[in-house]
């Protein structure tokens, strides 16, 4: 009782600083203690403070046949020296997304997800799983059919902290072998949360071929896509979210665009390209100095032998490098696996159950209490 009295007598700024360091699940429970705690934790100031101190977690998005999709979030136990890689993960929470369908994740920024339902006309949602809020974005009435391609990105500008969803569309003409030989039309639209409630057209990038599985990698206030030019070479397409201007810079030396299974992600604080083309190895390139082509370094060569060798038709996305050198990755939308720095081998991991009829995505996600009501012009719903 005396300890409780001392704590309640502390200045509010000290109490706020202490509790802002707690994991989201602890704070969610503390909300139920009293009205004063609830008011503190739901204030925008506390949400920003807590976000600034939060660590990234693993978010796994799963779908099984016609069942509603689910989100599972796991914390990392980075400091532990564990015998089994699975012990690095601590379940935080599990959500069933019964209120709306989602088929793929466009991006995660500050605890806010952008989710996409793929179709000839896409549906997009902004969602915070911890506040259980979501926003339905207006649709762009444009019918998309192969070989035309649509890809997206989600990020926040450095000036004004404006959260933006970016949609890139291009028509493609393919030859008899399926290689893109001409891009007769390209469009790019931007939706800024909390502004006019409409999509704005901006100048598109130079004619580039974007993979339909490519998602914009957000780093340094910019969105990045690994794209191919009409000479069968890779480039990094970069959109400055402040100026809303595209530019390109060099990719690492990869096989030709039509022959390479390359993915672009942010790994740590660097752009990274993962090449899964080889039957025997996975190669991970790191751009040590941002926007410096000469800084691309072949950082990891991961043997697929014996468990993952054979013909490859899927992209591999690195997710996280642990302090002991282990690397968590996802193979297509089928399974999670990891590279053990100790044994120098790659193995599947059973963090989550995967069924034959299901699909899975996994990304880093910083849990937060940022309320979508801060985007004043948006219609916020609960699930």
Left, alpha or beta for 158 (phi > 0: left; psi -120 to 50: alpha)? alpha
Lowest mean pLDDT among 8-22, 281-295, 342-356: 8-22
Residue 15's domain spans which residues? Answer: 1-53
Enter the DSSP assignment of 343: T
Domain boundary residue, one of 10, 38, 53: 53
Using the predicted structure, report yes or no on whether residue 45 has a pLDDT greater than 90.
no
Count the domains in the chain: 2
Residue-level pLDDT at 1 = 41
pLDDT for the residue 258: 66
Residues 17 and 75 in one domain: no
pLDDT per position as a tens digit, 304-338: 877 776 657 789 999 999 888 889 999 888 888 99
Q: Are residues 285 and 341 in the same domain?
A: yes
Q: What are phi and psi of 325, to 5 degrees?
A: 95, -5
What would the pLDDT profile of 270-296 be if each residue is shown by its tens digit?
Answer: 999 999 988 889 999 999 999 999 999
Q: Looking at residue 226, what is its pLDDT?
A: 94
pLDDT at 266: 97
The whole-number pLDDT of residue 2 equals: 47
Say if residue 44 is in the same domain as residue 60: no
Q: Which residue has the higher pLDDT, 329 or 35?
A: 329
Residues 31 and 156 in one domain: no
- Look at residues 281, 282, 279, 275 and name the one whose alpha carbon lies nearest to residue 260: 275
**CA nearest neighbour of 239 among 217, 223, 220:** 223
Angle at CA of residue 336, ends 334 and 338, nearest 5°: 145
Domain boundary among 9, 30, 53: 53
Check whether residue 45 and residue 109 sit in a common domain: no
Give per-residue burial for 123-149: e unless 16+ CB within 10 Å, then b.
Answer: bbbbbbbbbebbbebeebeeebeeeeb
Please name the helix (run of DSSP H) or strand (run of DSSP E) that holds residue 37, with its range, or none.
helix 35-41
The pTM of the full predicted model, rounded to 2 decimals, is 0.88
Task: Check whether residue 28 and residue 104 sit in a common domain.
Answer: no
262: pLDDT strictly greater than 70: yes
**How do residues 157-195 score in pLDDT, each as one tens digit?**
999 899 999 999 888 888 877 777 788 888 999 999 999
pLDDT reported for residue 81? 61
Phi, psi of 310 (to 5 degrees): 125, -175
Q: Find the mean pLDDT for residues 53-57.
A: 86
- ∠250-254-256 over CA atoms, to 5°? 100
Model pLDDT for residues 114-161, shown as the tens digit of each residue: 999 876 678 899 999 888 899 999 988 766 667 778 899 999 999 989
**For residues 21-32, average pLDDT:** 67
**Terminus-to-terminus CA distance in the chain, angstroms?**
38
| Average pLDDT value over all residues in the chain | 84
Task: Check whether residue 121 and residue 259 sit in a common domain.
Answer: yes
Residues 175, 272, single domain; the answer is yes
Same domain, 42 and 98: no
Instruction: Please indicate, yes or no, whether residues 128 and 45 belong to a single structural domain of this protein.
Output: no
């Amino acid at each position: 009782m005396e300890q409780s009295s001392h704590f309640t007598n502390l200045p509010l700024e000290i109490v706020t600083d202490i509790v802002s360091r707690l994991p989201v699940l602890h704070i969610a429970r503390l909300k139920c203690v009293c009205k004063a705690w609830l008011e503190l934790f739901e204030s925008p100031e506390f949400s920003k403070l807590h976000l600034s101190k939060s660590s990234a977690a693993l978010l796994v998005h799963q779908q099984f046949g016609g069942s509603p999709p689910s989100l599972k979030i796991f914390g990392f136990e980075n400091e532990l020296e564990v015998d089994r890689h699975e012990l690095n993960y601590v379940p935080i929470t599990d959500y069933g997304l019964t209120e709306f369908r989602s088929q793929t994740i466009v991006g995660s920024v500050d605890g806010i997800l952008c989710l996409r339902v793929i179709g000839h006309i896409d549906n997009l949602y902004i969602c915070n799983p911890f506040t259980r809020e979501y926003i339905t974005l207006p649709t762009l009435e444009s019918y998309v059919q192969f070989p035309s391609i649509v890809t997206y990105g989600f990020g926040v500008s450095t000036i004004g902290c404006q959260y933006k969803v970016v949609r890139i569309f291009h028509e493609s003409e393919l030859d008899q072998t399926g290689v893109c030989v001409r891009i007769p039309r390209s469009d790019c639209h931007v939706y800024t949360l909390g502004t006019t409630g409409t999509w704005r057209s901006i100048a598109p990038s130079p004619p580039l071929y974007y993979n339909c599985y490519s998602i914009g990698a957000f780093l340094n206030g910019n969105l990045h896509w690994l794209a191919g030019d009409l000479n069968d070479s890779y480039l990094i397409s970069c959109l400055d979210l402040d100026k809303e201007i595209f530019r390109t810079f060099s990719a690492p030396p990869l096989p030709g665009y039509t022959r390479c299974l390359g993915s672009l992600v942010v790994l740590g604080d660097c752009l990274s390209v993962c090449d899964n083309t080889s039957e025997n190895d996975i190669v991970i390139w790191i751009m040590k100095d941002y926007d410096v082509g000469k800084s691309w370094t072949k950082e990891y060569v991961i043997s697929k032998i014996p468990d993952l060798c054979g013909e490859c038709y899927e992209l591999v996305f690195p997710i996280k490098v642990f302090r002991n050198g282990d690397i968590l990755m996802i193979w297509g939308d089928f399974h999670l696996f990891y590279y053990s720095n100790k044994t120098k081998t790659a193995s599947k991991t059973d963090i989550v159950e995967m069924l034959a009829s299901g699909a899975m995505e996994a990304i880093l996600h910083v849990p937060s209490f940022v309320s979508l009501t801060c985007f004043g012009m948006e219609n916020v719903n609960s699930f």
